[in-house]
Structures are given as structure tokens and as C-alpha cells.
């Protein structure tokens, strides 16, 4: 067991933020909905913080087309452009990789990308009826934590946007199992 300073939780929360928990409605789509939690005094909005909040923000940003948010035209992801304009699978994949790297670099809470993998967007996996684009990004945060965001084949029915809680308490995973 490692001892941590009592204010480490407060610093991590300030560095990485706090937000409303927004879980996927279904694995067949990218739609999310807020979640409620029992507060002991009734029902309240469920919150998410630290690395989990950052991963959720990145997952939402990677599935929002840039310019589609009427309140923030600069929010979102430019990854559809290479998919729609490139005919070469290799150039399309590299264009998506570049767009993902650009999106993560725009978030000041991300210090560096450790690993970035993108599947071939033109391949149809064995047994699938449509193409699947799978993106997985491992990164480090300003707090020194490691996070992962994985699309897992967006809108393919697979689990998507799972949050890797390495270095965290695992409260999200425990809550998801119950």
C-alpha cells in the first residue's frame, strides 16, 4: 500500500476537472444520457471526476463532428474528413490518426500521447456486415495519471468509450458492475 498526501485527490480534481456522468444509452450508437445517483437525501445528478472525467470528455469529443455544437463551433473532431475524402485506406487511416492526435493535443489536460492505434477503415472484419473504425489512445495527464480512450468499433454494437481507470480507485468500474 502506498501512502498519498491528503490533498492529492483535491489537486487531481482541480487539474482534471469534474463533470456530469454521461453513459452511453446503447452500444449501437454514440448517444449519451446523464445518470442519477442516490445522494442519501434523495436523487441527485451523478458526477465524474479526475481521469475518468477527462476520458469521458475525450470520448464525447471524438464522436462529435467539429462545428456541430451550436454553442461551441470549435469543439469536436475532424476525423470524418479523411474518411470521406481519401480513397486510399492507408491515407485515410493516417488522416484519422492525425485528427485524433490533434484533438488530444488541443486539451491542456493531456501532456503526451503514449500510444495511438487506428484500424484500417476500409477493412470489413470477419463476420461483420459493415466496416468498423477502431481507435485506441493511451495518454498521460498533467497529474501524471495514465488514461485510455477506445472507440471499440463505434456504433457496431460493441462496448464503446470504456474508461481505463489505471491508477484510480476503480469506483467507475464497481459502479458499472452493479
Summarize pLDDT for 135-156 with one digit per residue, the tens: 889 999 998 889 988 876 554 4
Using the predicted structure, report yes or no on whether residue 32 has a pLDDT greater than 50. Answer: yes
15-24, 41-50, 98-107, 129-138: lowest mean pLDDT where?
129-138
- The CATH fold assigned to 8-177 is Nuclear Transport Factor 2; Chain: A, (3.10.450)
Q: What percent of the chain has pLDDT over 70?
A: 73
What's the start-to-end Cα distance of the chain, in Å?
A: 26
pLDDT (mean) for 51-55: 89
Identify the residue with better confidence: 9 or 137: 137
The rounded distance, in Å, linking the Cα atoms of 115 and 167 is 17
pLDDT at residue number 123: 64
The C-alpha cell at 161 is 468509450
Q: Domain limits of the chain?
A: 8-177
pLDDT (mean) for 67-72: 87
pLDDT at residue number 126: 62
pLDDT at residue number 162: 45
The rounded distance, in Å, linking the Cα atoms of 33 and 13 is 22
DSSP assignment string, the chain: -----TTHHHHHHHHH-EEE-EEES-TTS--EEE-EEE-SSSEEE-EEEHHHHHHHHHHHHHTSBTT--TT-TT-SB-THHHHHH--SHHHHHHHHHHHHHHHHHTSTTEEEEEEEEE--TT---TT-SS----EEEEEEETTS-EEEEE-SSTTTTS--SPBP-TTS--HHHHHHH-
pLDDT band for position 109 (50/70/90)?
very high
- pTM equals 0.73
Amino acid at each position: 500500500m502506498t501512502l498519498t498526501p491528503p490533498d492529492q485527490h483535491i489537486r487531481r480534481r482541480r487539474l482534471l476537472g469534474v463533470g456530469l456522468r454521461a453513459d452511453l444509452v446503447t452500444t449501437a450508437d454514440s448517444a449519451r444520457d446523464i445518470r442519477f445517483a442516490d445522494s442519501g437525501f434523495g436523487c441527485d445528478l451523478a458526477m465524474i471526476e479526475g481521469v475518468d472525467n477527462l476520458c469521458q470528455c475525450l470520448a464525447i469529443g471524438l464522436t462529435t463532428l467539429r462545428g456541430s455544437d451550436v454553442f461551441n463551433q470549435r469543439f469536436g473532431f475532424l476525423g470524418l474528413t479523411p474518411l470521406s475524402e481519401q480513397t486510399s485506406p492507408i491515407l485515410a487511416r493516417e488522416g484519422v490518426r492525425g485528427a485524433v492526435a490533434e484533438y488530444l493535443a488541443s486539451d491542456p489536460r493531456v501532456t503526451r500521447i503514449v500510444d495511438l492505434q487506428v484500424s484500417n477503415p476500409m477493412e470489413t472484419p470477419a463476420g461483420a456486415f459493415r466496416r468498423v473504425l477502431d481507435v485506441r489512445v493511451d495518454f498521460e495527464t498533467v497529474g501524471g495519471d495514465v488514461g485510455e480512450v477506445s472507440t471499440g468499433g463505434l456504433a457496431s454494437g460493441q462496448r464503446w468509450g470504456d474508461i481505463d481507470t489505471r491508477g484510480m480507485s476503480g469506483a467507475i468500474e464497481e459502479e458499472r458492475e452493479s
